[in-house]
Amino acid sequence: MHQWPSPPKVNSSKPVLTNGAIPAIVEKNGLYNETPVLQDFRGLLQATDNNRYKIVLSDGKYSYAFAMLSAQLNHLIADGKLEIFTVVKVVRFTVNSVIAKAPATDKVYNKIITLHDVELLVSGKEVRSN
């Protein structure tokens, strides 16, 4: 699990992040039956070559840098709705393994969380103002 600095605390009247959801999602290869509340916690928005945005997710306890938006959610970035510290309910996602390092004898797999459907709960601006 990749550790990043702790995200700002969400006001108690706001949705609570689902602590521990990220390792459960990754370890179960996406066979996680909940709709976790997570936070987009990234320092820099990056678009990949195929127009997908890399994001860093936080569940309040763990952060995970191997995450991205599906192309159909790009409008959330373009419209400024999904920004740093935005809190979302993850409605639909997948987890895929990709080879990160492939010498003949030493394969390393990374698990990529791809968000396909999210519900925006608290804007990043609102989180930062608390």
The residue type of 89 is K
Give the Cα separation of 24 and 95 in Å (integer).
11
Average pLDDT on 56-80 reads 90
CATH class of the 21-129 domain in this structure: mainly beta
Give the Cα separation of 21 and 4 in Å (integer).
16
Q: Model's pTM, two decimal places?
A: 0.78
Task: Say which range, 38-52, 69-83, 110-124, has the weakest mean pLDDT.
Answer: 38-52
- Cβ atoms of 64 and 57 within 8 Å: the answer is yes
Mean of pLDDT over the chain: 80
Cβ-in-10-Å burial (0-12, 13-18, 19+) of 118 comes to buried
Q: Domains of the chain: which residue ranges?
A: 21-129
Decide which of 39 and 92 is more confident: 92
- The pLDDT, as a whole number, for residue 53 is 86
